[in-house]
Chains A and B, each alone.
Chain A
Amino acid sequence: MTSPLVDIRGLEKRFDLSGSFLEQITFKGGRFQRKQEAVHAINGVDLQVQKGEALCVVGESGCGKSTVARTVMGLLSPSAGEVHYGGQRIDNLKGGDVLPYRRKMQMIFQNPYASLNPRMTIQQTLEEPIHFHRPELARSEVREKVQEVMQSVGIDPDWGSRFGHEFSGGQRQRIAIARALAVDPEFIVADEPISALDVSIQAQVLNLLMEAQETRNLTYLFITHDLAVVEHFGTRVAVMYLGRVCELAETKTLFAEPRHPYTQALLSAIPRLEDDRPNYIRLQGEVPTPVNLPSGCVFHGRCPYANERCRQEIPRLIVTDGGSQVACHAVEEGRL
């Protein structure tokens, strides 16, 4: 296998809940105690994004998928682990050293109502990243570039003098995509880019993203909770649960033969047009809080196949016969 474009190694991210040093101190039973609490958003994630693919990360709210996206982009700094881009470690770069990577990596956010500056015209919104990353370009060249990128996302270049609020949700998301494309990136992180949109508009935006991938040779890290979209769009899928990857496979393999019990439950919950009744694998209980992680496999409390080993030992991703990678003792032992 060729070296990956983006390599995420042993990534961990904790968000501290306990505040400053003094706030952590409590007086209890005659002595001072220091208590620290943290949300364990990501707990050791390894992912490689290959050039030209669309790697989808799926999972339910709180599984850490957006935190992975933000950490890869450098919007959050990891608590542990490394992020490499094209062979170079980027998570510890400072100041100006990050800039070339910022140009190559762009992000599209979920809510196009919040991600466009309401006080800037579309022209300004699209010119800003080009001015910033390519200061050598003349004004006319920048304008040309903006025209080209607007056309490529299906927004009339004559609308440049309008403001974000004058556009519909779908058009705004096109503009947000145009802004990401304006600096000719290689790699795009899209965090739930279509979940705020209506069904008929979702199709338009998905088509646009696929077109852009083809014509510009883009690589995607696509974060979503919508499995139907993944099935259509993804080259490979990583399923996350409580900050860990529990299954990683080619899209076709994953949907044809999900191995991890959580993946199986997740896939069964998609409402399908051909169903006459909700037809799904029932899980016990609810997702535990990421503040106190369960011991062993994070899924053991809800898993119908859990045994003593699952409660104690954290499963590692292993490669199965079908070619998918699964973190499950039951699959490893052949129980499942």
Chain B
Amino acid sequence: MKSDTPLLEVKNLDVRFAVRGGDLTALRGISFSLDKGERLGLVGESGAGKSVAAFSILNLIARPGYIAGGQILFEGKDLAAMSERELRKIRGNRIAMIFQDPMMTLNPVLSIGTQMVEAIKAHRRVSTKAAREIALSKLRKVQIPSPEKRLDQYPHELSGGMRQRVIIAIALLLDPEIIVADEPTTALDVTIQAEIMALLLDLCEQENVALMLITHDLGVVSQVTQRMLVMYSGRIIEQGPTREIINDAQHPYTQGLINALPQMGEPGARLFQIPGSMPSLKNVPSGCPFHPRCDFATDQCRQTMPEYVRSGNVDVACYEVSNLIEQEKRMQEAGS
């Protein structure tokens, strides 16, 4: 499955926001990769930095935010160092984005057709008629009923689920290699969410498009993605194959997140709860940012940020886990 060079590789990415009273670090040393056709989930609670991570991939961080360090390699080229002109050739074309709220993404005063044709013509030299044909074929692909009619409709004439289908069609317009989807179903009802997620998954598989799915819903991540990253306070604290993490999470935060789900507990019993809440960027705790909420925190955790260790196929940043692994190793050595 894994090719030699990944399609997208993010290396040691730092993103900061310059605000009064100094810089706030929104992302700290983020590294991950995405292969062709791979589906990656980005999980975390609000304020963890998952949307910033998604936006920075397209170098869409607006002032006062800026990329302070690291590389975003797309087919070997660094997006972080690219000029605005070169970036425009990639955005929407090779890497497409789907945002949370379809009403905010679509222009309310332009018909669906106009918006789709506009996007195609920005990147390709085609006639309006040919562009409309492409638009139509993509609307068919997202299974919108009577697509010809939709081209001349305006966003307000469509329901939330239909709008999100249009957004997906727009993302597919130029046959991108990567789709970045930022909470694409959060604003929708459960039955519509299920339809949209199934559609997105099918399309990614059919077209061999890589998907980066940002969500807070672990259920959706487990249904759709192959690998996942768990973020906390601007850091990736755990990453690896989705099934492995869901079934056997290593980091205490990931464990807490999974165990706090109502579907994990006995009905009526007390739910597992992580005490406290995510620290604000203004005062990120020293050492491991999770230590004030962690049951296993030691002095080591309070002082230094743990390095990643490998456990199975999962990379975890946690002293508790690394110490356990060390211990096991020593036991084995002593035994042999």
Contacts and interface: CB of A to CB of B under 8 A. Distances in A.
A210 B270 contact: yes
A60 B274 contact: no
Interface in A226-272: 226-229, 231-233, 251-252, 265-266, 268-272
A98 B133 CA distance: 63
Interface stretch (B91-99, B120-128, B214-222): B214-222
Contacts of B161: 286
A157 B264 CA distance: 33
Contacts of B256: 200
B139 interface: no
A276 B263 contact: no
A207 interface: yes
Nearest to B200: A278
A280 interface: yes
Nearest to B162: A286
B258 interface: yes
A220 to B, nearest CB: 13
Contact of A231 (B45, B267, B272): B267
A272 B222 CA distance: 8
A202 interface: yes
Contacts of B257: 199-200
B321 interface: no
Contact of B194 (A168, A269, A274): A269
A22 interface: no
B262 A283 contact: no
Nearest to B226: A276
B103 to A, nearest CB: 14
B189 A273 contact: no
Main secondary structure of the interface of B (DSSP, over half): helix
Given A273-B218, A278-B224, A206 B262 contact: yes
A282 interface: yes
B18 interface: no
Interface in B23-63: 45-46
Given A231-B262, A232-B263, A252-B267, A278 B223 contact: yes
B225 to A, nearest CB: 10
A201 B277 contact: yes
Contacts of B275: 204
A44 interface: no
Interface string B246-284: 100000000011101111110110111111011000000
B201 A228 contact: no
Contacts of B258: 273
Contacts of B277: 168-171, 198, 200-201
A252 B190 CA distance: 20
List 3 A-B pairs, minimum CB-CB distance, nearest first: A271-B219, A232-B262, A203-B260
Given A251-B267, A272-B222, A277-B201, 9 more contacts: A204-B273, A204-B275, A232-B271, A269-B190, A273-B219, A273-B261, A273-B263, A274-B222, A278-B194
Interface of B: 45-46, 159, 161-162, 189-195, 197-198, 201, 216-220, 222-224, 243, 246, 256-258, 260-265, 267-268, 270-275, 277-278
Interface of A: 60-61, 168-171, 198-204, 206-207, 210, 225-229, 231-233, 251-252, 265-266, 268-280, 282-283, 286
29 contacts: A60-B190, A60-B191, A60-B192, A168-B277, A169-B277, A198-B216, A198-B278, A200-B45, A200-B260, A200-B274, A200-B277, A202-B260, A207-B273, A233-B262, A233-B268, A268-B194, A269-B191, A270-B190, A270-B219, A270-B263, A271-B193, A271-B223, A272-B222, A274-B222, A275-B222, A277-B198, A277-B201, A278-B194, A283-B191
